[in-house]
Structure 1
Amino acid sequence: MAGLTCPDICPDPNKKEAPQRVFLEAGAQRTAPSPHAAPYTPGLVVPPEKKVYPPGAPPIYLPQPTDSTSGDILGMGPTGPWAPGHMDWTPQAGITGVRPVVDKYSMTRYSTGEWRKNNQYTLTPRATDKAKALDESIKRDLDNAFKNMNNKQAESNQNLDSRVKDLRHWKKKVEQTVEAIAKEIQTLDEDRAKLKGACRILMLPEAISRECLELRTHRYEPDMVRDDAEQELIKEVAIVGEIRKLFIQTLQKVETQMAENKAAKVNIETDWADKMHTLKIDNQNLAMGDDSSLILWHPGVARWPENATSLEYWEHYCSESIRNCDEVRQKSEQLRGDLMTAIIKGSQDMKIQGDRTNSALADTVSATQQMCDKLESNLKDNLQTIADVENLIDHLKASLRKVDERNKLVMTRLHNRNYSRPSVENCRDKAQYALMAEAKFIKETADSLTDKQRQAEAVRNELMKYRGELEKDIACKRKSLNIDEDRIARVRAHMPTPEEFANA
């Protein structure tokens, strides 16, 4: 039953007595009494002591290492500047429900430590730090932005320079192709002129053969026989017709080929002009800088044009345009070979058949006088042609003098505008373009007229040479006629040779 007893009612005799605990009365403090503690005791008020702060302490308006947030240091008592009662401000002074001590002098809510902490918070340069950070960030971003822009501009300049080199490479190839096709057109035109001359020359042997046949129809009845001479004359006329047909067909092919050559030349020149214009633009863009006076705002240009092509298609187009032009030129060269072959082979066939006819007509004299009349008629036409050509040359000289006057006029105008207009007034206006176009046209006209004059003089020289040959042949044949009265031999002596066909 001993374990069931209450120690407070029935104390254990064997247990030592615990020390007696002492409790403080209501309102008592554990620390030393304050000078203002009740009751008032005279002589306890001490003089003020100078506060000593540790070395390196911040200013007195900022938090100090000795600050405390406890309210017990005030030592509230019945006497002094505070009303009697319990201090109720703490580090949680702003919490709702805490009542500060109030008297007629002040309303206390915060401690000195809290006041110093508030001063430190107020003096902390929050916006200034943000401004400094923002300044550093902006400067760093600006440096990176301009560095990247410089890199991009350098890359663009490098690509533009590479593009300019590519354009120059293709432009050079196109220029070579243009020169080749232009030379081919000129050569083909000369060969075409030879072919036309051969066609004109072909009229002479045909006329001679037909004249001989016509003369033989006037033979007397006993001589109206179909002999070898007449057979050869008929065969000669047929050969001339076949050669003329071949010449006409070849001339049609030449005309078609000439049109293809000119079309190819136009296409390749258009490509060349486009490349020149593009090269000028890219060179201008490559020479531009940030301080260029040509740069302007162009909104909406940073997009792909509707007619823009790919680089692969551009390279394909450049190579294809050159290849097409070369194919046309090679075809033209082959046609020129066929043309000269037709002229040479045709003239050789004409020569062989003419020799056969001349051999058959060795004993025929009925057509000799008719051929002499034909030669005299040709000489008369030749003299009239020479007179006409000389009149034409005089007219060309007078025209060239007029063109020179026009040329001096436009040069004077251009000189006045180029060197007399001041400053920005010296601009490329429509009048300047018109004067430049006029000067170009006058120069081309003068060159064309000079070329025409040269051609006319060459023709006149040929006519004079041909005139001498005609007069010499007529005199020779008249003498031969007086000797052996070989009229047909005199007529057929003017049959064109293969060299005349080739050099027509």
Structure 2
Amino acid sequence: MAQNLTCPDICPATAKPPEEEKLYPAAGASRGPENPHASPYVPGCIRPPEPKVYPPGAPPRYLPQPTDSTSGDILGMGPIGPWAAGHVDWTPQAGMTGVRPVVDKYSITRYSTGEWRKHNEFVLTPRATDKAKAVEAKTRKDISDAFNAMDNKQAETNKKLDYRVKELARWKKEVEKALDAMIKEIDVLDDERARLKGACRILNLPEMISRECLELRTHRYEPDLVRDDAEQELIKEVAIVGEIRRVFNTTLAEVETQMCMNKSAKSALEFDWSDKMVSLKLDRKNLTLTPESNLLLNHPGVARWPENASTYDYWEHYCRESIRNCDEVRDKSAKLRQFLSSTIVNGSRDMKLQADRTNAALAETVAATEELCEKLEENLKDNLQTIANVENLIDYLKDSLRKSNDRARLVMTRLHGRNYERPGVENCRDDAQYNLIAEAKFIKETCESLNDKTREAETVRSELMKYRGELEKEIACKRKSLNIDKDRCARVRALMPKPEEFAGG
């Protein structure tokens, strides 16, 4: 039997008949009746209202009824419009796109009647009444216990405040005692500082005296500008004054520093005393306060430790250390006062001893200068006599030189006549000519010798005059030195202060 191998999809003999072409409605065209489940409207189908019957014992109409459905009301649509097309879904997905309630131009249908009644029951149910009663009973008991505990805490706090007030009062008295002692020490040290300043002012006088003497001795003439014993002692006196001033200034600086330390310790004690007074006054006030006081205010955020709060152990340590530091500063100030007094006494004694040494050196220098001045005056007298003799000799030499010049002119006149007035052969070199020439030569040599002797005598006289000037200068220099050392320095040094003046300030 032959098999049919043709393809029904290709062969036209066996192909299926063509399907009818589907027609789709145009955009905006009606797709059919709006409510396909409703029957068409028939006149006379509207009935009068039927009263709703609730079972006996049913709750009020605004509360859930036994006949309510839990899945929502199915609102069917009748043939009479207008109505919202579609079906309202009351499931949890009702708010999602595609299953929302259909909204028309009159209203939106959201909840069913059963849900509305259930909501009314939820609102009217008093859920917190029993809880409120239990909370009230427990709260009253807790409040009573809390007030009893607060009374106990307040009594304990008052006891601690009373102990704190007594302790503050004790430390305040200790600080007052230390403060009184420091005030007395500051007053005594201030008196000693005034005495030291007075000694420093008095010290200017011996320094000015010594420098005045040195300045006066610089006015001596050149030969007497010598660094003798008196000069050395004066320089040493100025140096001792400078050293004493340095010690005084150093001591004064230490006194100033100590005074600052004393005042700082006093200020610290005063601040400590002031703080303790404020704290004592505040704690006494706090001790008198009660819950019925009329000065009570709200201060939020005070129930915490302040940033600058210290511990109780540190407070006790600070109180002890404050008084101990004050005692140490006061002891150091007392030792400095003792050193200050000894410095003034020793410095004034050294000044007196050095002044005596300087006066002795000046007296010795004055005695030696007086002896030298007498010797210089004797030499001046001898020099003046020698100068007179040399001047007489010079006059004699000048007279002799004039006589020699007269003889020289005589010889030159004879030679001139014989050389230029004798005629011819008569102008011969005879013995007379030779003697005249020899005489002229001798006279010339004699004049030159006399000139040399005159110049030598003049030189000796000038040296004698120079020596005379030197002697006179030396005598004036010595007299100037005697005037400075014996008169002016003595008058100035008579004003040298005594050690009692230094000690008195």
Q: Tell me if both proteins adopt one fold, taking TM over 0.5 as the criterion.
A: no
TM-score range relative to shorter protein? 0.3 to 0.5
> Which structure would you say has the larger Rg?
2
Higher relative contact order (CA 8 A, sep 6+): 2
State the TM-score, normalizing by the size of structure 1: 0.45
